[in-house]
Structure 1
Amino acid sequence: MLLLAVLLWIAPADTAASVRWTHDALAFWASADDDQRQAAVDAARGDSTGLRALRPLPPAGRLWTLLALAQADAAPHGPAAVAGASAAVLDSLLPTDALRQRVAARLADATAALPDTAGLALGRHLALRRLRAHPANDPTWRGLRPTGPHVWAPSPGTEPEGAAVPGFRPLVLRRADQFRPPPPPLPGSDAFASALAEVREAAQTRTAAQRRAARFWALRHSATEWTRRAADLLARENTPDPEAARTLAHLHASLYDATIACWEAKYHYWLLRPEHADSTITRPFGVALPNFPAYPSGHACTAGAAETILTAALPGAADEIRAAAWEMAESRLWGGVHYRFDNDAGLALGRAVARTVADHPDRLAVPLGEADE
């Protein structure tokens, strides 16, 4: 992990400030995730000191979204403002004192290189406005679970994961169900039987490459992986601010709203997973069974959203981006956890959300007075 952090901190001098800080944030996030895992292991062995010292790790999507929006607010005012905004978001959301000290050290380096105290202060102010305008959502689900022979059910003794997400406030969409896909094929129908047979055949004939792809995407958080890919591509293409910051903001607004829209559909239809319909379907090692309904695919929703924003912003990398989005969605069928119609509906939903974000960037502005002190 130290090597990863070092690699992420090395960037060409002409790389956009938003991209440099995003690379730094990826290293900070990876370190925070490692700290959380180690503290949990220590607690299981009887030493809970480290676990008690940690603040809860925020949802990855929340951190990346607020970081990108704050950077986009600050980017027109110069790299010092981006530094101030980035540091303020990371200081507020990272869970350990050690990480916050690393953020402070990074900011000190930026201050030495960019002695623009007014810009730093402005960036911090803009970031704090963002944080106040977007408080954490209530993760408590107060709904009722439907029952029936073809209705998805959570693992025994657990609550449905993400069931409260449909109640989160979108950034750009007017309603969580604005792009709700049409109903999936009914279990027992010919269309459903055909889709189930495709998953069964895929499980029986997986290639080594398909198993690797299924594990790769199963083990990665969608927003974090697309953050890394976007930052790498923006650096490679030498995309300047404020364009780079705007691309990251549109990417994360799209991923955020696509996730809300996707989970709204999941908990509207409550469709069972393939292995619930056919117990002979197996998953590759390393691919866990998600504890939420199947339709549509969350991986496909985020893949469609990311593909739409990034191919428009980075046409020179369009083929590479489309290939990654296709593999991300397809990997869930290879992994035995989704039907093809899950993927098709998810890609369409994500693309529709991203087009809406691109068409209505004004909705990302913090309303005047809403978050001011």
Structure 2
Amino acid sequence: MPITQKILSLSDLEAAAMPYAEKAPRDYWETGSNDLLTLAENQNAFNYLKIRARAMRGVGTIDISPKVELFGRKFRAPIGVAPSAYHQMADDSGECGTAAACQARNWPMGLSSFSNKPLEEVREAGPDAALFFQLYVFKNKKTSENLVKKAEKAGFKAIALTVDTPYLGNRYADVRNNFKLPSHLSARNFEGTTDQPIDNAAEADSWARKIFNGEECPPDANVVDPDINWAETIPWLRSITNMQIWVKGVVTAEDTHAAIEAGVDGIWVSNHGGRQLDSGLATIDALPEVVEAAAGRVPIHIDGGIRRGGDVFKCLALGADFVWLGRPAIWGLKYDGQAGVELMEQIIEDDLKLTMALAGTKTVAEINRSCLVRIGPAIVKL
């Protein structure tokens, strides 16, 4: 869409893009579960953390590059585009446009199982960017296995197994809108992977809802399996792929220990963007206990409510190795396709660089817990 105003922040980008989206897709992107408490808290919780700015630190040169490599590659910044579904609802280029933007600016990207563009095309658009393939395990495990093998063949480096969605959160807006993917679009990754339809958990007659209500499900149904567990699922994935296995959706020390004991390669702190358990912890509040429990044994990544360079700074200060943005990529894509995503990336990079300079940190390695204080309510286990 034509640029009609100067976009200076991600909130500007959201305000410029979202009014042009139809109601059902807009609500799908912008809302979360139940009363949207966790959705709001993901952003609000950052305000309880304040940066202790240091002066006279010689910040004539600022290096925003990550302190660690990711899959042997040094990216432009410790920031990536998180997996989210149905990018083609925002722009016809879909996930290929997102991947091309990430390739252009040297950002990593995670791809949703439910992408509109097939994973092979996304890898072609972003061969150095599209690294994580986000995965759900279906009751029909053969479908999930076929997806994993396709992703590995295409060159993805890791599976991001989503572990916070045994059932779909109660997303009021999607229920009221009777959300469905537009008829001209489809989840292309499943073509050739299964003969059975893919269950749409948002629909009233979905197998996911029937299982929740106690009905028996056919063993070959392509419905997310609520019985995945640490003891069986990680070893099963390890048996079918040589890719790294990360878990996305961990927010507690207990699950951090369980994940590492199960042999995962990395942990992704996430609450599904506030779209699953409402009244759950904001991810920035969950991050410290996950980092402490991991004790450096595996890398820790995070998403959820990150909208400013200062938010990225705070995540890094609390021990995250990488920070991921989901909805802002959709805003950029809706605003101006690939160029809009690149604009989003530029804004957050510049904001991080300025935040680092004003805080007195020349490199990402200098960002640590001593850079922050907390002024809000303490997080206390009961």
**What's the TM-score, normalizing by structure 1?**
0.23
The structure in which a higher percent of residues are helix is 1
Q: Which has the higher contact order (CA 8 A, sep 6+)?
A: 2
Higher relative strand content? 2
Larger Cα Rg: Structure 1 or Structure 2?
1
